[in-house]
Amino acid sequence: MNGNSHRLKHFIGSGAVWLIVSLTPLPSLAVSIEDVPNPRENSGEWVTDMAEILQPATERQLNQMIDLLDDNYFGG
């Protein structure tokens, strides 16, 4: 076995380990369903953006769209 073949196997093995570790979910980062606030009870809105990723305008638009769905399909 020459040096290049050994390096390639090492590279592939290291990549496989990295891939497995990076794709394994970390339970410590998960939020239980009990810890997610009910937005309808807290603010009267549908959207809870705990990570604060959405722009306020996007939250408003999503809430309006969900309100329409709720009115049309479930009678509000």
> Tell me, what's the pLDDT at 38?
84
| In the chain, domain spans | 3-74
Task: Tell me the C-alpha distance between 31 and 25, whole Å.
Answer: 12
Closest CA to 1 of 39, 41, 9, 74: 9
Compute the residue count for the chain. Answer: 76
* Global model pTM greater than 0.75: no
What pLDDT, in 10s, does the model give residues 8-52? 565 665 666 666 666 666 665 677 788 877 888 888 899 988 888
> Tell me, what's the pLDDT at 51?
85
Find out whether 46 and 67 touch, Cβ atoms under 8 Å.
Answer: yes
> Tell me, what's the pLDDT at 33?
81
